[in-house]
Amino acid sequence: MTIWMREISRFLICALGAHAIGYVVIQVLPNPIYAMLGMSSGVGEISENLPHATQTKNYAERLLDTFRGDLGNTLDGVPVWQDLSFAIFASAPRLFFAVLIIASCLVAVAYAPKRVLAPVSNVATALAFLPPYLAPFLSLWLYVAVLPFLPTFSRQAEEILIVLGLAIPAAVFLTAQVASITIRNLDRPFVQNIRSLGAGELAIRHRLLHHVVFEVSPSLEKILVGLFTAIIFAESLFGASGIGSLTARAIRRTDIDLMLSVILMSAIVVGVLRLSAVGIRNLYGLKQ
């Protein structure tokens, strides 16, 4: 219970801390009216007609409204929860298939022949240093290159390439870790012992898969950050609705309520993943 109380306290501190830091950073950004209409606009006159664009709430008021379930309005006067809900539902299928690809890579590498693990680890480690936004740019280039040959399936091809742009950075990062962990585990004495007792290679790999899941669980947060970074570029580049496009729009327009809601949502998801990682590690008997 003590472990969970500590982790939940850390989760709350991190979520509220991210929200507060986001608010402080936003305060140094340009007035949202400047972002919409340019530096030469008459801010005072426009503020009278667009009161929602120049809200003067202090942080305490915004935080209290958030606890009440009021996330505020966007610069267009639309409730933030409405835009956020639409974006989550639009991105959910892409994220699902991206996570499915990432999980498939984990299992494939964990069961791969030992002779290919070292080359896979070397290649994946080299590619993991590339920025996560590179894959979405390559996906867009591929889409433009093949579009003339796939006019009938352009929409499906676009969705597939968006998913690949999301999955590749995190999959490469995870592949490098899993390959390295599997190589190390296969050389451990207990593997040699159970092999000498007649255990087959498939049974050994199945048992080691549990160790792999245990060892990569702390990386769930990094994988999520990679996915979130990639989705901002992937959806924006392809002009697809979703969390990424909504985040890019909020940043571009300095949409305060929307930006704070996205920051809080991201912090909560990262915190939930951290709690999941702690749960996995406790399941395997690691007391933190």
Tens-digit pLDDT profile for residues 26-71: 766 555 555 555 544 444 444 445 544 445 577 777 778 778 777 8
> Which pair of tokens denotes residue 267?
């912090």
Same domain, 159 and 271: no
What domain range is 171 assigned to?
77-253
* CA 148 – CA 155 distance, rounded (Å): 13
Nearest Cα neighbor of 137 from 256, 2, 199, 230 is 230
The pLDDT of residue 199: 72
Residue 51 domain flag: no
Same domain, yes or no, for 1 and 20? yes
Q: Strand locations in the chain, DSSP E?
A: none
Same domain, 189 and 162: yes
Residues 227 and 148 in one domain: yes
Looking at the structure, do residues 171 and 224 belong to the same domain, yes or no? yes
105 and 207 in a common domain:
yes
Burial of 281 (0-12, 13-18, 19+ CB in 10 A): middle
In a domain, 34, yes or no: no
Residue 256 token pair: 């305060």
Residue 195, pLDDT above cutoff 70: yes
Number of domains in the chain: 2
pTM as predicted: 0.75
What is the band of 191 on the pLDDT scale with cuts at 50, 70, 90?
A: confident
In a domain, 50, yes or no: no
| 90 has a pLDDT exceeding 50 | yes
CA distance 39 to 54: 15
On whether both 15 and 116 belong to a single domain, the answer is no
Whether 119 is covered by a domain: the verdict is yes
